Amino acid sequence: MICKYCGSPLSGSICTSCKKANSLSYTSHELATLLGHPPALQNTEKQLSDAYESGFFAGQQQGYENGFAAAQQKSMQMTKRQKHSLMIIAACCAVVLAVFCSTVTGVIAHTLGNKQGVSTGKQEQQIADQSSLSEFYQQGYKAGHKDGYQIGYRKGQEEAPTPSPPPTPTPTPEPSATPTASAESIMLQKRSKGTMVRQLQQRLIELGYLAANEDDGDFGSKTEKAVKAFQADYDLPQTGIVDQGLWDQIMSEPVVSATPAAQPVSEVATTSELHEDIELGGETVEGTQADNHSG
Domains and their CATH numbers in the chain = 177-292 (1.10.101.10)
Residue 26: name the closest of 223, 10, 41 by CA.
10
The C-alpha angle 169, 170, 171, rounded to 5 degrees, equals 125
Alpha helices (runs of H) in the chain, residue ranges in sequence order: 28-35, 44-159, 195-207, 221-233, 244-252, 265-274, 289-292
Return the amino acid letter for 257: S
187 membership: H or E segment, kind and range: strand 187-188
- The number of beta carbons lying within 10 Å of the beta carbon of residue 223 is 29
Task: Give the pLDDT confidence of 74-101 residue by residue, as tens digits.
Answer: 889 988 899 988 899 999 889 989 889 8
Judged by DSSP in three states, 4 sits in coil
CA 197 to chain centre: 58
Task: Give the pLDDT confidence of 241-255 residue by residue, as tens digits.
Answer: 999 999 999 999 887
Instruction: Tell whether the model's pLDDT for residue 260 goes beyond 50.
Output: no
DSSP for 35-76, please give it: HTS-GGGS-HHHHHHHHHHHHHHHHHHHHHHHHHHHHHHHHH
Q: 206 falls in which pLDDT band (50, 70, 90)?
A: very high
Is residue 17 within 8 A of residue 8, CB to CB? The reply is: yes
Is residue 152 within 8 A of residue 272, CB to CB? The reply is: yes
Give the integer Cα–Cα distance in Å for 152 and 119. Answer: 47
Q: 105 falls in which pLDDT band (50, 70, 90)?
A: confident
> What pLDDT sits at residue 130?
77
Judged by DSSP in three states, 214 sits in coil
Give whole-number Cα distances, 268 to 121, 219, 256, 263, 275, in Å.
Answer: 49, 19, 22, 9, 11
Give the integer Cα–Cα distance in Å for 104 and 100. Answer: 6
